[in-house]
Amino acid sequence: MTSHSGYTLHHPQWLRRRVSTWWWLSRWRYFKFILREITSVFVAAAVVLLLLYVAALRRGPDALIAFQSWLSRPPILAASAVVFFFTLIHSITWFNLAPKAMKVRLGNIPVPPALIAAGHYFAWLVISLALAWIILTGG
């Protein structure tokens, strides 16, 4: 736990306790935090997937069709579902934390935290609907 070199008069030997590598397992709240952090890996995976899509699009129609058929293979579909699920959790936890970082005031009246979170969800919904409309109607 510690190393000691005896006691020196008027110079107390402090005890320094090291943080365990497994600190995040010691409390449920720490563990929840680590889970939230891990979801970022899936967000990164979603970004990589999107970039691959754009790269295929750039290479022309054949490459795009090949990429899309690769995407629709069952294991890739399953992996995409997992990535989507964790990206969703990441977004929800992010939006729920947003009011902590933002103190918005309308004139002199502070906007309640729930309303700030609701604003984020609303923007998310509007952007998602707009994208869905563009994709489904072909622009």
| Site for other proteins contains 10 (CB under 8 A) | no
Interface with other proteins (CB under 8 A), residue from 33, 70, 122, 124: 33
* CA pair distance 89, 119, nearest whole angstrom: 18
Q: Which CB atom, from 12 or from 138, has the smaller least distance to other proteins?
A: 12
Tokens matching residue 137? 């109607």
* CA pair distance 83, 89, nearest whole angstrom: 10
How many other C-beta atoms are found inside a 10 Å radius of the C-beta of residue 86?
A: 19
Interface with other proteins (CB under 8 A), residue from 25, 44, 82, 103: 103
Shortest spacing between CB 100 and other proteins, in angstroms: 5
Cα of 126 vs its chain's centroid, Å: 20
Shortest spacing between CB 108 and other proteins, in angstroms: 5
Cα of 32 vs its chain's centroid, Å: 13
| Site for other proteins contains 22 (CB under 8 A) | no
Tokens 């609303």 belong to residue? 122
* 3-state secondary structure at position 13: coil
* CA pair distance 87, 83, nearest whole angstrom: 6
Shortest spacing between CB 98 and other proteins, in angstroms: 9
Interface with other proteins (CB under 8 A), residue from 17, 58, 114, 139: 17
Binding site for other proteins (CB under 8 A): 1-2, 4, 6-7, 12-17, 19, 23-24, 26-27, 29-30, 33, 37, 97, 100-103, 108, 110
